[in-house]
Copies of this chain bind each other. A is one copy, B any other.
Amino acid sequence: MKDFPAIKTVGFIGLGIMGRSMAGHIQAGGYQLHVHNRSRAKADDLVAKGAVWHDKPGEIASVCDVVITIVGFPQDVENIYLAPDGLVAQAKPGTVLIDMTTSSPSLAQRIAAAGAAKGVAVLDAPVSGGDVGARNAKLSIMVGGDAAAVEHVRPVLTRMGENVVRQGEAGAGQHTKMANQITIASNMMAVCESLAYAKQAGLDPRQVLKSIGAGAAASFALNNLGPRMLDGDFAPGFYVRHFIKDMGIALAEAERMKLALPGLTQAKALYDKLAAAGHEDEGTQALFRLYAA
């Protein structure tokens, strides 16, 4: 087992809707927080409560025992971790770096290997549960990477989530998140098509949900996003453009593994069409637009 220092300082990079809530929970847990974000204004609340601002993300790795990142796209992750002045280059041995972005499993493996060469454990730990889960510290956290490092940072992770499960070595967290997104993708078609059919057949779709929402057709999406579709409420809980990113990663990984996923392929094509029509900044339930015309 590696020799990890006690965790006193935690870095947090990426203070979007989810990141801000998550960093707040860690701060509330008594850790000294160090933060960076593309736009500084989003750090104001945390800084007012004692967090230390850094202009450069790499800097944070040199002063923290644990560093967490949750940013936008795999390209951002690659830059933050692997740039010459990035996290891996700047981290001290014994530091644990945790990427909670939904990103590429292959990239996670590459970064973990780069870290290991320096005695720095890098974990991939994407989440599900959305902004509400982040706010209530009830995220599901899917972790890949060195087992001892995972146990070492578990007290930090459990500040943010209830369901923290190590899924295997580096990349396994991202692969698990891909499995999560693959499940959601085809089910979104299922929910849209069911409700569009019900409307077109002249039924009251809310009444239909009373019949089908509790049995073999039941799903989180049917019961939570179905009503929003029917209300025409397409406000983002989870952005179409982020979902398209995730499906693209999953399809690339599946292709690499020679696995055909026709449902996911179909769902991705529909979401691409939705984005092309200008709806990429809406929530994933906006897929219903394609059926409701």
Interface residues in chain A, defined as those with a beta carbon under 8 Å from any beta carbon in chain B: 105, 128-130, 133, 140, 142, 163, 165, 167-168, 171-172, 175-176, 178-187, 189-198, 200-205, 207-208, 210-212, 214-222, 224, 238, 250, 253-254, 257, 259, 261-264, 266-267, 270, 291
Given contacts A105-B201, A175-B198, A187-B219, 19 further A-B contacts (CB under 8 A): A129-B215, A133-B215, A140-B212, A163-B214, A176-B198, A178-B201, A179-B198, A179-B205, A180-B194, A180-B212, A180-B216, A180-B217, A182-B190, A186-B190, A192-B263, A197-B261, A216-B221, A263-B266, A266-B266
- Cα–Cα, bound, A264→B163 (Å): 33
Provide the bound-state CA to CA distance between A147 and B19, in Å: 53
A-B pairs with the 4 shortest C-beta distances? A189-B263, A219-B219, A186-B190, A183-B217
Q: What is the bound-complex CA distance between A201 and B205, given in angstroms?
A: 38
Is B193's CB under 8 angstroms from A182's CB? yes
User: Are B266 and A203 touching (Cβ within 8 A)?
Assistant: no
In the assembled complex, the CB of A182 is this many whole angstroms from the nearest CB of chain B, namely 4
Q: Distance (Å) between the CB of A132 and the closest chain B CB?
A: 10
A-B contacts, 11 of them at CB < 8 A, read A140-B211, A165-B210, A181-B217, A182-B190, A182-B197, A185-B190, A186-B263, A192-B263, A200-B254, A259-B291, A266-B266
| Docked pose: A186 CA to B264 CA in angstroms | 10
Give the residue among A184, A203, A267 with the most B Cβ atoms within 10 A: A203
Check A215 against B220 for contact (C-beta < 8 Å). Answer: yes
